[in-house]
Amino acid sequence: MRVKTLAVLAVAGLLASPAAAQVMAEPDATEVAKTPLRDLNIDGRDIPEVLQRAALAPYSTTGMKRCNALISEIAALDTELGADYDIADADGKQRLSQGRIGQSVVGSILPFRGIVREVTGAAGNDRALRAAYTAGMARRAFLKGWGLGRGCAYPARPKVMK
């Protein structure tokens, strides 16, 4: 039983690695101030439409017959997800920033924050948002591979081929 549990945890960690490697946007003062509201599920974040579509059908090729359609869809995903690995910052290090430190401090003010987030539904909303971002990353990677196979030029394919 213990071996199965460890195996499941190891696989879950491997599946989470690509999402963790994606560079997240730095929180600004507004995001820091909204932390308690999000913890209480008063100011939840909506899932962007392009990520909702990606979550429903990450490997769909409907409407993706032309390279321009691929470029348009990839650009929409880039707007929500940020830079892809083929153009992202080379060092990929997660750095401490004033925004992240501020968000941590403000988040620590609420006692029993984890329990409060589960009870209010904020934790579930964050899980759904993370799942949508993961689906968006899978969709973007799929579309770039699809574009490569169809002979499209960048950005409808990966920028560098090593």
User: How confident is the model over 130-140, as pLDDT tens digits?
Assistant: 899 999 999 99
Both tokens assigned to 129 = 């948002």
For residue range 86-109, list pLDDT tens digits in order.
Answer: 776 555 555 555 555 655 665 566
Q: Which of 59, 22, 20, 23 is nearest to 145 (CA)?
A: 59
119/139 Cα distance (integer angstroms): 32
Selection from 132, 109, 112 nearest residue 44 by Cα: 132
pTM above the 0.85 mark? Answer: no
Distance CA 78, CA 93 (A): 20
Q: Which of 66-75, 90-99, 120-129, 147-156 has the lowest mean pLDDT?
A: 90-99
Domain ranges of the chain: 31-149
Q: Which residues contact 147 (CB under 8 A, 6 or more apart)?
A: 67, 70, 74, 156, 157
